[in-house]
Amino acid sequence: MAMNKGSCSLLKSVIIKNELGLHARAAAKIANLAGRAKDKIWLIKDGEKVDASSIIDILSLGCSRGTEITFAADSKADFDLLRNIVIMAENGFGE
Amino acid sequence: MDLGNNFNMPDNETNEEIKLNGVGASPGICIGKAYLVDKEGVEVVEKYFISGKNLDGEIKRFKAAVKNAVNELRSIIENVPDEVRRHTGILETHIALLKDKMLYDKTIETIKKERVNAEWALKKVVDDIKVMFQNISDSYLKERSDDITHVSDRIIKFLIGSEDVNIGEIDKRVILVAKDLSPADASQIQLDKIMGFITDRGGKASHTSIIARTLEVPAVLGVGNATKTINNDDTIIIDGTTGVVIIHPSGQTLGEYKKLKTRHEEHKAYLSRGSHLKAETLDGLSLQIMGNIELPEEVVSVLDHGGDGIGLYRTEFQYLTRSDFPGEDELFDKYKDVVEVMGPRPVTIRTLDINGDKAISSSNGSEEANPALGLRAIRYCLKRPDIFRTQLRAILRAAAFGNVRILIPMISSLDEIRDTKKLLNEVADSLEKEGKAYNKNIEFGIMIEVPSAVIMADVMAQETDFFSIGTNDLIQYTLAIDRGNREVAHLYHPFHPAILRMIKHVTDVGKEKGIKVFMCGEMAGDPFNVPVLLGLGIDELSMNPQSIPAVKNMIRSLKVEDARHFIKEALKQTTTMDVIKLVEASFGEMFGK
Q: What is the pLDDT of residues B547-577, one digit of tens each?
A: 899 899 999 999 999 999 999 999 999 999 9
Binding-site residues on chain A for chain B (CB distance < 8 A): 19-25, 28, 31-32, 51, 53-57, 59-66
Confidence grade of residue B9 (pLDDT, cut at 50, 70, 90): very low
Query: Where do the H-state alpha helices sit in B399-538?
Result: 414-434, 451-455, 457-461, 471-479, 497-513, 530-536
Facing residue for B330 by CB, picked from A19, A28, A32: A19
Say if the Cβ atoms of B144 and A19 lie within 8 Å: no
Mean pLDDT, chain B, rounded, equals: 85
Interchain proximity B330–A32, CB inside 8 Å: no
**CB nearest A56 (choices: B92, B103, B324):** B103
For residues B46-72, give the mean pLDDT.
Answer: 89
User: What CA–CA distance (Å, rounded) separates A24 from B97?
Assistant: 9
Binned at pLDDT 50, 70 and 90, residue B43 comes out as very low
pLDDT tens, position by position, B199-209:
888 766 566 77
pTM of the entire structure?
A: 0.57
Write out pLDDT tens, residues A5-36: 333 447 888 888 888 888 888 888 899 889 88
Backbone phi, psi, residue B363, to 5°: -130, 15
CB-based contact (8 Å) between B135 and chain A?
A: yes
Q: A42 vs A27, A37, A74, B266, B355, CA distance in Å? A: 13, 11, 8, 62, 44
The per-residue pLDDT for range B398-455, each reduced to its tens digit, is 999 999 999 999 999 999 999 999 999 999 999 999 999 999 999 999 999 999 999 9
Closest residue on chain A to B131 (Cα) = A60
Residue B464: pLDDT band by 50, 70, 90 thresholds? Answer: very high
Closest listed residue to residue A59, CA positions, set A25, A89, A86, A32: A25
Contact A25 B136 (CB under 8 A): no
Cα B506 to its chain centre, rounded Å, is: 30
* Range ranked top by mean pLDDT from B187-191, B489-493, B542-546: B542-546
Which backbone phi and psi does A45 adopt, to 5 degrees? Answer: -135, 125
DSSP for B222-277, written as a single string: --SSHHHH--TT-EEEEETTTTEEEES--HHHHHHHHHHHHHHHHHHHHHHHHTTS
